[in-house]
Amino acid sequence: MKRLALLGMPNTGKSTFFNRLTGAGARVGNWPGITVDLLSAKILLAGGMVEVIDLPGIYNLHGFSDDEHVVRHFLESQPLNGLVVILDATQLDRQLALLLQLRTLGLPLTLILNMSDEARQLGIHISRERLQQDLGMEVTLVSAKYGNGFGQARTALESLLNSATPARLASAEALQQDDSIEAELDRIIGETVTTPVTLPPNLTRRLDKIFLHPWLGLPLFFLSMFAMFQLVYGIGTPLQDGISWLLDRFQNHALNPWLHDAPLALRSFITDGLFNGIGTVLSFLPIIVVFFVFMSIVEDSGYLARAAWLMDALMARLGLDGRSFVMQLMGFGCNVPALMGTRVMRSRALRLLTMLVIPFSLCSARLQVFLFFSSAIFKPVAAASVMFGLYITSFLVAFLTALVWRGKFRNHEPLLLELPPYRFPTGRQMLAQAWQQSGHFLRGASGFIVAGVILVWALTHIPFDLPPASAGTLAGRLADWMRPVFSPLGIDRLLSITLLFGFVAKEVVIGALAVIYGAGENNLASLLAHQIDWVQAMSFMLFTLIYTPCLSTIAVLRQESKSTGFTVLAVLWPLSLAWLVSFIFYQTARWLGW
């Protein structure tokens, strides 16, 4: 099978091009000697199946970051039929040097100039024919965001495949710097690119005067996050109610009649275990999808990079930098990719400290727990404020952690950050992002959910001759043993059981509650509202927010840090901090008479 690789600088729209070219068929590739996950997809091109690999974005072939090392190793070890270089047409004077470096490798190349629509709006004119002549390769102007020029791009890729044979670099010697690149770059840009003497004022400059204001910038950012949570509730809650209604209809009219003559233990296992547990988790999928849609707007619009720039001064005081803040925000979706994203940091101390604070980010798995509790215990207006407060708390405990441990993990690496222009993502981009992230979340969580729910059901139903979750069951005995630990936090014996399975995966917590209480999502909310008050609910949510990350996160912490000692620290520190924060909150609230 023929193989193409996509390569370019960060923020050039390379991933957008890859997604539009390959559709929804991307998967994670396993490449010999490469520890970083690379997306690949098989598509029909030039009359046959072609594998397309999305390589990490890099600025230079000769740098020392992990991403640059991955790219060099891939190019040296993997045979390719062609390399597709994607550059930003609005910044060709800065980015063309990477292409000239790649050209010295002797691999078949084609050049895709993305964001050509933005270049035209800025008055930048590129002579495609002259550029092709100077570079000796096909040049195509596209807009990956809107799909403009994709027909020509596919034709260029087919031409590259038909004219090339598989090749790989002979050795690392081919990657040495060519001193003539800078002079050649100046010559080519002078002959092929016409730029206005003064670029016209644009929306990015006007918006940056507001969003990067030294006094208004941060309040506006947090206000934007609060507004986003309000929208997530307003749009997601009706969808959530619809899913719950469908699940109830299915259970009452299909599942229960089908299991009518089944043995009691089997009927309980399917209805009280699998269906109520997994069904309760699935009922929150609409809110999670809506959440990812709005997060894609914040990230793809370029606002996330501004937040990193605004936070750099504060993060520097904590021993971190603005990139650490960006990784925290990425952790809102899932801690695992955020931890892997720290590879762009060359300082090991900075990486370790950032990895220590990322698990405090309120990930999507915790999100469904808090959405359920806040909806069950609080009124809708108060629920949004509770969610916002939990996000603020996640930042505060992360900052506290950085302050405590910055002396052990000292960093002296300066921040280098590029602020891309504001680009509002298309509806297709937002839905694709939400679908991809939610699908990844469900695929990764399903195994943990099923195993966790089955284990919870077994603990709460064995022995079978006792009422579920009663004192004589395995769960009841375990809860009695843990009572001295959780009683000062206001967390009762049944809630304490769910925390154990939250260690496996936070997605299991709501499913575990459904099994323990023997209720579906609607009845479970009502039962909880009568069993605990708002102070106990907040104490439980605070503990869930802070305590030990899930097993997947721990596995990545060990993989990325390559240190068992650091992994143990990353487990015990949040567990201790969670107990302390919940204890202070609960005891103070009771002392105040709440």
Taking only the tens place, the pLDDT of each residue in 53-64 is: 999 888 888 776
pLDDT at position 467 is 74
The answer to whether 59 touches 14, Cβ cutoff 8 Å, is no
Tokens coding 107: 């691999």
Average pLDDT over residues 268-286: 73
Average pLDDT over residues 495-524: 73
564 or 514: whose pLDDT is higher? 564
Over the stretch 400-428, which tens digit does the pLDDT of each residue have? 999 999 999 987 666 666 677 888 888 87
Average pLDDT over residues 12-18: 87
What percent of the chain shows pLDDT beyond 90? 28
Query: Of the candidates 547, 508, 513, 538, which has an alpha carbon nearest to the alpha carbon of residue 527?
Result: 513
Residue ranges of domains in the chain? 2-194, 218-591
Other C-beta atoms closer than 10 Å to the C-beta of 479 total: 22
pLDDT at position 221 is 82
Cα distance from N-terminal residue to C-terminal residue, the chain? 68
194 or 514: whose pLDDT is higher? 194
3-state secondary structure of 422: coil
- The burial of 287, by beta-carbon neighbours within 10 Å (0-12 exposed, 13-18 middle, 19 or more buried), is given as buried
Provide the residue count of the chain: 594
**Phi, psi angles (nearest 5°) of residue 574:** -65, -30
Least confident among 269-283, 308-322, 457-471: 269-283
Least confident among 90-99, 317-326, 347-356, 530-539: 317-326
Q: Distance (Å, rounded) from C-alpha 471 to C-alpha 490?
A: 19
- What is the CATH architecture of 2-194? 3-Layer(aba) Sandwich (3.40)
CA distances from 108 to 84, 128, 449 (A): 9, 19, 46
Average pLDDT over residues 479-503: 85
Beta-ladder partners of 215? none
Q: Is the peptide bond before 463 cis (omega within 30 degrees of 0)?
A: yes
124 or 265: whose pLDDT is higher? 124
25 or 217: whose pLDDT is higher? 217
Q: Which residues contact 580 (CB under 8 A, 6 or more apart)?
A: none
Q: Distance (Å, rounded) from C-alpha 281 to C-alpha 512?
A: 10
Q: Is the pLDDT of residue 497 over 60?
A: yes
Other C-beta atoms closer than 10 Å to the C-beta of 345 total: 24
3-state secondary structure of 27: strand
Q: Is the pLDDT of residue 381 over 50?
A: yes
Rounded to 10 degrees, the C-alpha dihedral 88/93/94/100 comes to: 90
341 or 134: whose pLDDT is higher? 134
pLDDT at position 107 is 87
Instruction: Provide Rg for the chain, Cα atoms.
Output: 27
Q: Give the pLDDT band (50/70/90) at residue 201.
A: low
AA identity, residue 334 = C
295 or 533: whose pLDDT is higher? 533
Average pLDDT over residues 273-284: 69
145 or 178: whose pLDDT is higher? 145
| Strand segments (E) across 248-395 | none
Q: Which residues contact 136 (CB under 8 A, 6 or more apart)?
A: none
Strand duo 193-194 + 38-45: pairing: unpaired
Q: Which residues contact 404 (CB under 8 A, 6 or more apart)?
A: none
Q: Is the pLDDT of residue 454 over 80?
A: no
Which one of 127-136, 234-243, 507-516 scores highest in mean pLDDT?
127-136
Tokens coding 279: 């069904």
pLDDT at position 172 is 46
- The burial of 407, by beta-carbon neighbours within 10 Å (0-12 exposed, 13-18 middle, 19 or more buried), is given as exposed
Q: Distance (Å, rounded) from C-alpha 347 to C-alpha 252?
A: 57
Q: pTM of the full predicted structure?
A: 0.66
Average pLDDT, the chain: 82
Average pLDDT over residues 238-262: 86
Q: Distance (Å, rounded) from C-alpha 108 to C-alpha 113?
A: 17
Q: Distance (Å, rounded) from C-alpha 249 to C-alpha 132?
A: 63
Q: Distance (Å, rounded) from C-alpha 281 to C-alpha 275?
A: 10
Q: Which residues contact 79 (CB under 8 A, 6 or more apart)?
A: 3, 166, 167, 168
AA identity, residue 41 = A
Q: Is the pLDDT of residue 5 over 80?
A: yes
Element (H, E) at 37: none
Q: Is the pLDDT of residue 569 over 90?
A: yes
pLDDT at position 109 is 94
Over the stretch 112-138, which tens digit does the pLDDT of each residue have? 999 999 999 888 999 999 999 999 999
The answer to whether 38 touches 55, Cβ cutoff 8 Å, is yes
CA distances from 117 to 88, 114, 124, 149, 288 (A): 11, 8, 10, 10, 33
Q: Is the pLDDT of residue 28 over 60?
A: no
3-state secondary structure of 4: strand
The answer to whether 103 touches 135, Cβ cutoff 8 Å, is yes
307 or 44: whose pLDDT is higher? 44
Q: Distance (Å, rounded) from C-alpha 125 to C-alpha 104?
A: 27
Q: Give the pLDDT band (50/70/90) at residue 174.
A: very low
Q: Distance (Å, rounded) from C-alpha 181 to C-alpha 135?
A: 12
- As a 3-state breakdown, the chain gives helix, strand, coil percent values, each rounded to 5, of 65, 10, 25
Q: Is the pLDDT of residue 66 over 70?
A: no
CA distances from 153 to 53, 229, 338, 354 (A): 16, 39, 32, 39
